[in-house]
Amino acid sequence: MAIEPFQILDEEGRARPDLAPDLPGEDHRRLFEVLLCTRRLDERMLLLQRQGRIGFYLGCTGEEAVAVASAYALRPSDWIFPCYREHGAVLWRGMPLGLFVAQCYGSRDDITKGRQMPIHYAWREANVASVSSPVATQIPHATGMAMAARLRGSEDVALVFFGEGSSSGGEFHVGVNFAGVFKAPVVFVCRNNGWAISTPASRQSAAESYAVRAVAYGIQGELVDGNDILAMVVKVREAAARGRRGEGPTLIEARTYRMGAHSSSDDPKAYRDPQEPERMKARDPLVRYRKYLAARGLWTEAWEAEIEERFAREVSEAIARTEKAGPPPLESLFEDVYAEPTPELVRQRQELAAQLGARRKAAAA
Amino acid sequence: MAIEPFQILDEEGRARPDLAPDLPGEDHRRLFEVLLCTRRLDERMLLLQRQGRIGFYLGCTGEEAVAVASAYALRPSDWIFPCYREHGAVLWRGMPLGLFVAQCYGSRDDITKGRQMPIHYAWREANVASVSSPVATQIPHATGMAMAARLRGSEDVALVFFGEGSSSGGEFHVGVNFAGVFKAPVVFVCRNNGWAISTPASRQSAAESYAVRAVAYGIQGELVDGNDILAMVVKVREAAARGRRGEGPTLIEARTYRMGAHSSSDDPKAYRDPQEPERMKARDPLVRYRKYLAARGLWTEAWEAEIEERFAREVSEAIARTEKAGPPPLESLFEDVYAEPTPELVRQRQELAAQLGARRKAAAA
Amino acid sequence: MAVMNIIQAVNSALMNEMERDERVVVLGEDVGKFGGVFRATQGLQARFGEARVFDTPLAEAGIIGTAIGMALYGLKPVPEIQFADFIFPAFDQIVNELAKYRYRSGGQFGAPVVIRTPYGGGIKGGHYHSQSPEALFIHTPGIKVVVPSNPYDAKGLLISCIRGDDPVLFMEPKRVYRAARGEVPETAFTVPLGEAKVTRAGKDVTLLGWGSMWWECDKAAKAAEERGWDVELLDLRSLMPLDVDSIERSVKKTGRVVVVHEAPRTCGFGAELSALVAERWIEYLEAPIVRVTGYDTPFPYTLENEYLPDPNKILAAIEKVMTF
Amino acid sequence: MAVMNIIQAVNSALMNEMERDERVVVLGEDVGKFGGVFRATQGLQARFGEARVFDTPLAEAGIIGTAIGMALYGLKPVPEIQFADFIFPAFDQIVNELAKYRYRSGGQFGAPVVIRTPYGGGIKGGHYHSQSPEALFIHTPGIKVVVPSNPYDAKGLLISCIRGDDPVLFMEPKRVYRAARGEVPETAFTVPLGEAKVTRAGKDVTLLGWGSMWWECDKAAKAAEERGWDVELLDLRSLMPLDVDSIERSVKKTGRVVVVHEAPRTCGFGAELSALVAERWIEYLEAPIVRVTGYDTPFPYTLENEYLPDPNKILAAIEKVMTF
Ligand SMILES: Cc1ncc(C[n+]2csc(CCOP(=O)(O)OP(=O)(O)O)c2C)c(N)n1
Ligand SMILES: Cc1ncc(C[n+]2csc(CCOP(=O)(O)OP(=O)(O)O)c2C)c(N)n1
Ligand SMILES: [Mg+2]
Ligand SMILES: [Mg+2]
């Protein structure tokens, strides 16, 4: 187990020639574009939250490379089980901004029907599972899906994200252990961003790393610089290929850093030295990758400006559309509890509709 | 991490002179006595179960050394959190046979008041926590007790037993992880007896050992021959001393073997090659230790016969007493739910008493 | 038709459905070669292979958590929890994940996992081999709760659950696992969810029971007959969804209700039934409803017969409502 | 006396008790330096040190599991579960271990762990920052369940819990964490468990509520007054043990009962209350009992106002029992 994280790009954006993957220029540019848009999306949504136009937001600034690289390194048919800080992965998979924004508003055009807090998306069409607030619960789901894929003779692989804090929960242990025992093709991506709300990573484990835990499950472990998009691409690709070859799961610890607050409800000033994120700026995955691309002639300022402009416009359009959509219909409250509503649910729906009807009538009178 | 279990006594009962602990002869003899009595207790209780005099039994034949050595290596003030197969540990601590037998009968003289199935003892006076059927739940209790001891400035250490199967549960992970993070003085004894009911140890983990999991928690790990009582004494002593020095917990994998059925409800013929226990007889901890003591002049056949005879008599007396004791009183059903019964519990008690009273009256009439 | 006990009926249902639908898989502790500690999955691994019938590591959260993942991918997992008392390590997976997955994804995903588990007392199992936690799951929107009392229903209901699209907790009355015997077709058939069965028609008292308690109710009903009380006994079978219509019909006829369950009284399912009946049809009630239940204590060992509802206690309750 | 909100009252209780009894320790996620995501433990670590007030790894089973061990050894742990929705990973530890430890050891051991947790909806928290799981714990013999609605009770009840010898689930109504303000002594005092408070005397209808729903009930009671209905409002405060006597007195006076809670209707604590009242005092009832509750769905996000009981819905229920 390496003590130093696997790295390809240094802080100046110089790549190790022996390690750098040979990606097509178009892929590089698309990766950069999604990194950049993810960052801008965060800024825009946080602003909306501060304006009171959405109720909550949780950003991923500084951690985008982990998610974008992981999604890129997979096949579209592979399944992603997100934690809640991997907006870059769904953007990579092409989630229309309208879906993302509508989910944050919980409006009528939200495909999850306004049932969960912002950023708890689910997108079956693209093999993206449903985000859940209770942390770590998605880990055994990924294992189960991967076991099912093997059973069905498919080559599909599962990739699951979770924070280093979440890895303290029992579901980390059972999920990874099952995968080890059943040699399930899962890529476990432990996104170690240094913090779990106010709790530093040092309080979550006394081990030298999270990657080293792979030994406890008899599986492959990798410690990777999660702010190095190329390093992440290489290691997730290897892990997915290993899974597809029937060689079982991989536990990747992606070392990254939470640049912002935990969420819009949080204020890190109460617990974190403000110098810490300042120092970490040198490792910014977007900046490093930009330098790398620039040096290879794949980036220009004009191109970046063009992406930004287009993206800002698309987000604005999505917001405008969603803000006009209104809330989901009342009946939707009672749908999807079961495949078909039970008689009692029908009764409750009628009861509520009658009550609101009466109230409206009374108000009108 | 050693790949071969730490061993002092070989199968012929020869000790490695460089490793053998220098125990007083009296201790050796007492250790042997408790090992032997534990074995005999199993036989006797299983017989009672077959005769229908107790409802259930779960034995530890072949695994006695793990428990007896562990208890011996501790101070009496240290706490023991048993799983359910460590009768040797409570016998070492001097549990009166009457208590053990009464618990198995759930009779009026059972200090746990007939509340649980046989072998679910609890013995506060001797710092033995309460046995619970749900496996692995006691692991975080041990960690918490050890954290509390440190906080109170005490030197007390916690020792917790659990099976290798139980270590697949989430509570293993959280319990050991907390201990690592808080440097709690806990000795985790994973009793790897090869089986979890019908499930072989190979189905519980893909790792090379259970001891290796210590790496995942940044703590000391030890792989020990659990059928070698001297090896267990040495390693548990080291672990307890480490804890007392403030150096945190130790995870010991004690390799042993379940010679019998999982419990009186089980029949291994349905899933286990009967040759397997036969082969394992060569590693019997009692036999090895007997040879060792005999070679050192600490054992005679007459002495063993005397122990057996006395023990058999004591058990018989305990059984006779308990069989006369009758069931716990009806009121006891409603005690100890809370420190004081709630008004509703008092009401329920009265309701039941009245009902049974009426029934008795009707029967008499 | 063969005579089967409940274990055999469950086994037969699993055989039929695994044969019929290759997406059905069985997992859990000791369910493979051993066929389960109660032998309900016996022979499945030999017939359908280790890929579809397999032992898991000892971790209920893993059993249910991976089953959810399998179901999301399109399988129909039928995990076994060895005893209902051991379901709690998986409680978060069941309550926060399994039950809410369809709703929270806006209906995009479903996770039709059918959890089989033996429940209940009367086998000298003490605290941890006796519990009846149905109320906890009935209170959890998104999961169905089904409890057969006899082999025929066990098979027909289990097949309905497996063919359905929803998560189900299928609770098997282990006390009568072998004692309850009856004719059961060897081929597949279904008993629909959400329908109670009137197992005895009567005009004086409505007795509501399910699972192993149905048997105690039946004995009590017979004893009541000798006393001249005509008991109508409903085997509820499916607790969620509940067959409110059948209850209504019976209550309106008899005007007297006794509810029986093993779980502790306070906040047990009996509370819901009692509340529901009195809230909706109070004007039909000739007497207060009586609940005969376990007490508000953990499940005891030695005194379990005193703890459990039995025909005497039920008869006393019938007497109470008849003589109010 | 100072004016405090509920967060400050809880904080004050912890300060007093940690000062008074060095066995009291506080643990949980983010409770240390940060003082908790709702800041209820703010300042405790600075005052009492890292040994007695500490952040744990992110694992509720570990928080409760280690707290049990600490309590067995003689400490008085007051763990925080960050949101009631996240208590389920610790469900096995609470239901099978904490609640049963005294009973199963024949009274040899006690584990007086007081679990604090914010619960309830109305803060746009969706599925997982809104649940009200009280019924699950009330159904679990061996643990008490306490829910204050205001700062005074919050402090007095929490101190009673900490000084008691039993495990308690102390549920804090986060929706009114800051909005509910009132005079609270800075020194320690106790409010006994098992006593409801009649916060408004009335002769027509008994309204039973607790926690944040008490506030909705209070508004509804005032609105009812305008309609000429005289509501008696009970703040139950302690759900287990329950103050049956106060309920009895009120029901016998009014003959009409409305029960309000946020949790889903089926098998919620309202079912127990409704059942209990109708079973014991049916002859006093002038109208069927009405429950105003959350619906039998997971807790929604956008439509949470439609989901939750509110003064309008409660008033409609009052009207229903008054005009029966
Ligand atoms: C089971 C559970 N307990 C507590 C919480 C509250 N909570 C939300 S996020 C969080 C910290 C998670 O930290 P980490 O896993 O490192 O992920 P990160 O937020 O740093 O990406 C906590 C404690 C939760 N969501 N789920
Ligand atoms: C949480 C839980 N799940 C299932 C069981 C049923 N059960 C009892 S013992 C056992 C096997 C335990 O194996 P192991 O931990 O290796 O201990 P051993 O019996 O071999 O000593 C199982 C599955 C249980 N007691 N608790
Ligand atoms: Mg983190
Ligand atoms: Mg074992």
Residue B256 has pLDDT above 70, yes or no: yes
DSSP A32: H
Q: Which of residues 113-152 of D touch B (CB under 8 A)?
A: 141-142, 144
Identify all chain B residues contacting A170, using CB atoms and an 8 Å cutoff: 169-171, 173-174
Distance of CA C220 to the CA centre of its chain: 20
CA nearest neighbour of D254 among D308, D319, D201, D176: D201
Residue burial C244-282, b: 16+ Cβ < 10 Å; e: rest: bebbebbbeebbbbbbbbbbbbbbbbbbbbbbbbbbebb
**What is residue A2's predicted lDDT score, i.e. its pLDDT?**
47
The per-residue pLDDT for range B92-125, each reduced to its tens digit, is 999 999 999 999 999 999 999 999 999 999 999 9
| Angle CA A167–A170–A176, to nearest 5 | 65
D308 Rama class: left (phi>0) / alpha (psi -120 to 50) / beta? beta
Catalytic residue annotation of B: 258, 262, 271
In 3D space, the residue among D314, D292, D316, D203 whose CA is nearest the CA of residue D255 turns out to be: D203
Q: How much distance in Å is there from the Cα of A1 to the middle of ligand 3?
A: 22
- Residue A67's pLDDT is what? 98
Six token digits for residue C157? 């209901």
Name the residue among D64, D97, D104 with its Cβ closest to that of B115. Answer: D104
Tokens of residue B78, six digits = 């240290």
Cβ distance C264 to C293 under 8 Å? yes
d(CA C68, CA B176) in angstroms, rounded, equals: 27
Q: Please give the backbone phi and psi of residue D24, each rounded to the nearest 5 degrees, phi first.
A: -75, 125
Question: Is A245 considered catalytic here?
Answer: no
- Rounded to whole angstroms, the Cα distance separating B87 from B36 reads 12
Count Cβ atoms below 10 Å from residue B192 Cβ, excluding itself. 29
A169–D61 C-beta distance less than 8 A:
yes
- Is A5 in a helix, a strand, or coil? coil
pLDDT of residue A359: 86
CB neighbours of A215 closer than 8 A, spacing ≥ 6?
A1, A221, B207, B212, B213, B215, B216
Looking at the complex, does the CB of residue A112 fall below 8 Å from at least one CB of chain C?
Answer: yes
Buried b / exposed e over A325-362, threshold 16 CB at 10 Å, is eebbeeebbbbbbbeebbebbeebbeebeeeeeeeeee
Plot region of B141 (φ>0 → left; ψ -120 to 50 → alpha; else → beta): alpha
Specify the pLDDT at position B363.
86
User: Do A104 and A119 contact (CB within 8 A), yes or no?
Assistant: yes
Q: Which of A345, C264, B212, B305 is nearest to D295 (CA)?
A: A345
Q: Which helix (H) or strand (E) holds A346?
A: helix A343-364
Q: How far apart are CA A356 and CA C241, in angstroms?
A: 26
Nearest CA owner, ligand 2 atom 25 = B134
CA of A169, closest atom in ligand 1: 1
Number of Cβ within a 10 Å radius of residue A281: 11
ipTM of predicted assembly, 2 dp: 0.98
Q: What is the DSSP letter of D98?
A: I
Task: Write down the pLDDT at residue A365.
Answer: 79
Structure tokens at D25: 């320790």
Mean pLDDT, rounded, of chain B: 97
- Here the tokens at position B191 are 């009793």
pLDDT tens digits, B210-248: 999 999 999 999 999 999 999 999 999 999 999 999 999
- Which tokens belong to C184? 């059961």
Q: Going by CA atoms, what residue is nearest to atom 13 of ligand 1?
A: A196
Tell me the average pLDDT across A198-209: 97
Asked if the Cβ–Cβ distance from D62 to B174 is below 8 Å, we say: yes
Spans in chain C with pLDDT lower than 70 = none
The pLDDT tens digits for D36-81 are 999 999 999 999 999 999 999 999 999 999 999 999 999 999 999 9
Region for residue A297 given its phi and psi (left: phi exceeds 0; alpha: psi -120 to 50; beta: otherwise): left
Q: What are phi and psi of C57, to 5 degrees?
A: -60, 165
Q: Which of B64, B116, B135, B199 to mutate to test the pocket of ligand 2 (most atoms within 8 A of CB)?
A: B135
Predicted confidence (pLDDT) at residue A204 exceeds the cutoff of 90? yes
Hey, are the CB atoms on A120 and C194 less than 8 Å from each other? no
Name the DSSP class of A265: T
Contact B216 A215 (CB under 8 A): yes
**How far does the centroid of ligand 3 lie from the alpha carbon of residue A259, in Å?**
11
Judge whether A153 is closer than 8 Å to chain C, CB to CB: no
pLDDT digits (tens, 9 = 90+) for C233-254: 999 999 999 999 999 999 999 9
pLDDT tens figures, B268-320: 999 999 999 999 999 999 999 999 999 999 999 999 999 999 999 999 999 99
Give the pLDDT band (50/70/90) at residue B364: confident
CB C15 within 8 A of CB C48: no
CA of A58 to the centre of ligand 1 (A): 12
C19 CB within 8 Å of a chain B CB: no
In whole angstroms, give the CA distance from residue D261 to residue D264: 8
Residues near B140 by beta carbon (within 8 Å), at least 6 away in sequence: B171, B174, B175, B178, D61, D62, D64, D65, D66, D68, D69, D93
Cα torsion angle, A76, A77, A78, A79, sign: positive
Which pairing describes strands C144-146 and C168-173: parallel, antiparallel, or unpaired? parallel
Would an 8 Å CB–CB cutoff place A346 in contact with chain C? no
pLDDT at C216: 98
For ligand 2, which residues put their CB under 6 angstroms from it? B 85, 133-135, 163-166, 191, 193, 195-197, 258, 262; C 29, 58, 60, 82, 86, 89
Q: D296 in helix, strand or coil?
A: coil
Average pLDDT rounded to a whole number, residues B331-348: 98
What are the phi and psi torsion angles at B117 (to 5°)? -65, 160
Let me know: does A271 contact A76? Beta carbons within 8 Å. Answer: no
User: How does pLDDT run across A274-330, given as a tens digit for each residue?
Assistant: 999 999 999 999 999 999 999 999 999 999 999 999 999 999 999 999 999 999 999
Q: Following CA atoms A37, A40, A46, A52 in sequence, which dihedral angle do they give, to the nearest 10 degrees?
A: -90
Over chain C, what HEC string results? Answer: CEEEEHHHHHHHHHHHHHHHCCCEEEEECCCCCCCCCCCCCCCHHHHHCCCCEEECCCCHHHHHHHHHHHHHCCCEEEEECCCHHHCHHHHHHHHHHHCCHHHHCCCCCCCCCEEEEEECCCCCCHHHCCCCCHHHHHCCCCCEEECCCCHHHHHHHHHHHHHCCCCEEEEEEHHHCCCCEEEECCCCCCCCCCCCEEEECCCCEEEEECHHHHHHHHHHHHHHHHCCCCEEEEECCEEECCCHHHHHHHHHHHCCEEEEEEEECCCCHHHHHHHHHHHHHHHHCCCCCEEEEECCCCCCCCCHHHHCCCHHHHHHHHHHHHCC
Report how far residue C232's alpha carbon sits from residue C237's, in angstroms, rounded to the nearest whole number: 15
pLDDT confidence of residue B3: 79
Digit-coded pLDDT (tens) for B268-279: 999 999 999 999
pTM over 0.90: yes
Q: Does the pLDDT at position D279 exceed 60?
A: yes
- Ligand 1 closest atom vs CA A63: 21
Which residues of D are the active-site residues? 129
- The per-residue pLDDT for range A134-177, each reduced to its tens digit, is 999 999 999 999 999 999 999 999 999 999 999 999 999 999 99
Least Cα distance to B176 among B222, B142, B152, B135 occurs for B142
Query: Given a cut of 60, is residue B2 above it in pLDDT?
Result: no
Chain segment D112-145, per-residue pLDDT in tens: 999 999 999 999 999 999 999 999 999 999 999 9
Nearest C-alpha to atom 25 of ligand 1 is from which residue?
A: A134
Q: Which residues pair with C198 in a beta bridge?
A: C234
Residue B189 bridge partners (DSSP)? B161, B252
Give the residue-averaged pLDDT of A183-193. Answer: 98
Sign for the pseudo-dihedral over CA of B23, B29, B34, B40: positive
Angstrom CA distances, B159 to B72, D2, D56, stand at 12, 48, 21
Here the tokens at position D113 are 């762990």
Cβ <8 Å between B114 and C124: no
How deeply is B69 buried, as exposed, middle or buried, from its count of CB atoms within 10 A (0-12, 13-18, 19+)? buried
Residues 6 or more apart in contact with residue C269 via CB below 8 angstroms? C134, C135, C138, C239, C261, C263, D267
The alpha carbon of residue D306 is apart from the nearest alpha carbon of chain A, in Å, by 8
For residue B168, give the nearest of A177, A204, A218 by CB distance: A177
Beta partners for residue D53, in sequence order: D26
Q: Within 13 Å of residue A80, how many CA atoms lie on the same side as its CB?
A: 34
CB hemisphere CA count around A271 (13 angstroms): 26
Q: Dump pLDDT digits (tens) for B33-84.
A: 999 999 999 999 999 999 999 999 999 999 999 999 999 999 999 999 999 9
| Residue A1 predicted with pLDDT over 90 | no
**A181, B178, B207, C292, C295 from D63: Cα distances, Å:** 28, 9, 27, 37, 30
CB B117 to CB C128 under 8 A? yes
